[in-house]
Amino acid sequence: MKKTTAKKTPLTLEQIARTSSGPDDTEKWDLRLYVAGQTPRSVAAFANLKRLCEEHLAGRYNIEVIDLLKHPQLAAGDQILAIPTLVRKLPQPIRKIVGDLSDVERALVGLQLRPGKS
């Protein structure tokens, strides 16, 4: 898994240093899911995300759900346009996955848990 991460995006020296020093499976995943109200789509997105995390990141992930209807000012911070959007805050770099995460393969690629098709 560590290898695929390195392959997918060029890392900064710091990142290389960190990823090489610390063991990969202890890395904390900080995920943020932006939704707008309890729409079927956001509910589906949350369910898909939960399942995905349990499968691949059991025990070392943290999901924060932000309802933009309640906190509209937070949309600007992560440049949110599409709903739902999943933002991977940690590990760096920031990745964004838009959509309800129903396409598991692409979601994994987006989260860099799986190598891209290309």
Binding another protein (rule: CB under 8 A), the pick from 4, 24, 93, 115 is 93
Q: Candidates 16-24, 25-33, 57-65, 102-110 — which segment interacts with another protein by CB under 8 A?
A: 102-110
Largest CA distance in the chain: 42
| Half-sphere exposure for 15 (CA within 13 Å, toward CB) | 13
90 binds another protein (CB under 8 A): no
Distance, in Å, from the CA atom of 83 to the CA atom of 36, rounded to the nearest integer, reads 7
33 sits near another protein (criterion: CB under 8 A): no
> Minimum distance from CB of 6 to another protein (Å)?
17
Residue among 31, 32, 33, 34 that touches another protein (CB under 8 A): 34
- Based on the shown chain and the rule CB under 8 A, indicate whether residue 47 belongs to the binding site for another protein: no
C-alpha to C-alpha distance for 107 and 86, rounded to whole angstroms = 10
* 72-82 CB burial, b ≥16 within 10 A, e <16: eeebeeeebee
Residues engaged in binding another protein (CB under 8 A)? 34, 36, 41, 45, 68-69, 72-73, 75-76, 79-85, 93-104, 106-107, 109-111
